[in-house]
Amino acid sequence: MREEPLCAVRDLKKHYPITRGWLRREVGQVRAIDGVSFEVARGEALGIVGESGSGKTTAAHAVLGLEEPTAGKVRFDGTPVSERSGEALTEFRRRTQLIVQDPNDALDPRMTIGEAVAEPLRIHWLDDADRRRAIVADILERVGLSADDADRYPHEFSGGEKQRISVARALVVNPDLIVADGPTSALDARVRSEILALLDRIRREFDIAVLFISHDLDVVRRFCDRVAVMYLGEIVERGHTADVLNRPAHPYTRVLLSSVPSLDPTDRRLGRPLTDTVPEPSDPPSGCRFHPRCPAVIPPADLSVGDETWRAIARFRFAVQADELPAEAVPTARRDGGAHRDDEVTPATVRRAVGLSAELSDAAAERAVEEAAAAIAAGDVDAADETLAAAFPSVCEREAPEAVAIDSASAAVHDSESAADANPTATADAAGRTVRCLRYESTVEADPPDGSETGADAIDGSDDGSTER
Ligand code: SF4
């Protein structure tokens, strides 16, 4: 029988109201997380990655009970967090600890390190001051500091040492789950490796689960057993870290990986986003939320141009929508707020700037691109937006892909023969062509493939107790 996870998050939503006016009338909602599910097993390190605004920190705070969900449930050790009160809630707070990105936020400059590390003990159960002192001395040494450091103040320590103190503070109450929210983001590379090695050692030594929140895929690759990739409040891909990061299936994961400098920049399987603007969580795109940026967005069924041309058309369409046209395609009068007239921008200038200067083989597409370019040259971007939206619809903006399970990972799979073969729910579009982009969910049990390094194997920072002073 499968062991119950330490923490199980089901269909979690957190929406914040947007209010206006004296009466604070609700005019909309920021959908910070929108139907997220994941599990953390005992002793496991699960990474949640995504750009800022993806909802990963909100999800982490909901796990800790710091945010009340709009919908969905968080269960910890079998009991919904929302149903805990009194002693059960105090116990939950002891067993779940938070490490924040900036240790200065967690340390009171007027408290000695000993007082700061002992504080959770005092809050939770231990009144005996001598016993508290002994536990603090022991824990400081376990995180690579000295028992004598207990009498010093936070300003006497470096950033890396302060993060060690935060780890000691989390560890002192013997937790089962640590939520580490960007714990190495503010550190330089050497200290980052040391803190990762420390976290890895203590989680294995004490069998502690870690929910590791980060935007840094390289750090997640080195520390986490499994990873979930978030985009605009949704999990778009998940699986064993090696599976997801060595063979990313979702176009967004590929885009994230393409921004990691250590990876091969010539790897054409990785993508660049069509546009840089991350849509507002208060107004997420229809269908698949990634579609205005997705380099793999599915073309209209009746379009007959090659892949590269389609990508240029899609980039043009969504750059117009996001007001992200290259500067040379924008008439001066728009650039400088109407101070000057400019007639140097022509439809040909616009087409050259967006990589569509050659006449398209598809006559209808050619007409639409020419019409949109003429509208932009005339300063009417809204008309161009309407023309492109009408001429180049995508199934991706109409519907979110179906959720199905394939193999050992969970993602949107786009346009690959193997995915199409494995896809039990592939559907034909109006023209009878198979739409081969899916989003699917599964619980991943498979071992990482041989030769891929994740978790402790990949952590090269020595945690030998030496610290950076
Ligand atoms: S459904 Fe797939 S191909 Fe379409 S936009 Fe989303 S991730 Fe890209």
Beta strand ranges found along 285-430 (DSSP E): 410-414, 427-428
Among residues 224, 254, 285, the one where a domain terminates is 224
Low-confidence ranges of the chain (pLDDT < 70): 1-2, 260-270, 332-343, 401-469
Q: Is residue 244 part of a domain?
A: no
In this predicted structure, what is the pLDDT of residue 136? 92
- Ligand 1 contacts CB of residue 316 (under 6 A): no
- Say whether both 218 and 305 belong to one domain: no
- Say whether both 217 and 315 belong to one domain: no
Cα(389) to centroid(ligand 1), Å:
17
Q: Is residue 62 part of a domain?
A: yes
Q: Is residue 426 part of a domain?
A: no
Q: How far apart are CA 412 and CA 404, in angstroms?
A: 9
Q: How many CB atoms lie within 10 A of CB 403?
A: 13
- Ligand 1 contacts CB of residue 314 (under 6 A): no
Among residues 158, 190, 224, the one where a domain terminates is 224
- Say whether both 21 and 141 belong to one domain: yes
Q: Is residue 209 part of a domain?
A: yes
Q: How far apart are CA 288 and CA 298, in angstroms?
A: 11
- How much is the pTM? 0.84
Tell me how many domains the chain contains. Answer: 2
- Say whether both 211 and 79 belong to one domain: yes
- Ligand 1 contacts CB of residue 298 (under 6 A): yes
Question: Each residue of 7-56: pLDDT tens digit?
Answer: 999 999 999 988 888 878 888 888 899 999 999 999 999 999 998 889 99
Q: What is the span of the domain harbouring residue 381?
A: 275-396+459-463
CB 286 within 8 A of CB 348: no
Q: For residue 391, which of 348, 356, 427, 435 has the smallest C-alpha distance? A: 356
Q: Is residue 240 part of a domain?
A: no
Ligand 1, atom 2: closest residue by C-alpha = 437
Q: Is residue 109 part of a domain?
A: yes
- Say whether both 203 and 279 belong to one domain: no
- Say whether both 70 and 215 belong to one domain: yes
CB 240 within 8 A of CB 408: yes
Q: Is residue 220 part of a domain?
A: yes
Q: For residue 289, which of 184, 187, 397, 213 has the smallest C-alpha distance? A: 397
Q: For residue 226, which of 252, 244, 207, 249 has the smallest C-alpha distance? A: 244
- Say whether both 216 and 319 belong to one domain: no
Cα(73) to centroid(ligand 1), Å:
28
Inter-CA distances, 8 with 1, 42, 349, Å? 17, 11, 54
In this predicted structure, what is the pLDDT of residue 260? 66
In this predicted structure, what is the pLDDT of residue 434? 41
Among residues 208, 224, 240, the one where a domain terminates is 224
Of all atoms in ligand 1, which is nearest to the CA of residue 295? 8
Q: Is residue 141 part of a domain?
A: yes
- Ligand 1 contacts CB of residue 412 (under 6 A): yes
- Say whether both 83 and 196 belong to one domain: yes
- Say whether both 176 and 297 belong to one domain: no
Cα(252) to centroid(ligand 1), Å:
9
Cα(412) to centroid(ligand 1), Å:
7
- Say whether both 199 and 286 belong to one domain: no
- Say whether both 187 and 40 belong to one domain: yes
The CATH number given to whatever domain includes residue 218 is: 3.40.50.300
Q: How far is CA 159 from the centre of its chain?
A: 25
Cα(427) to centroid(ligand 1), Å:
14
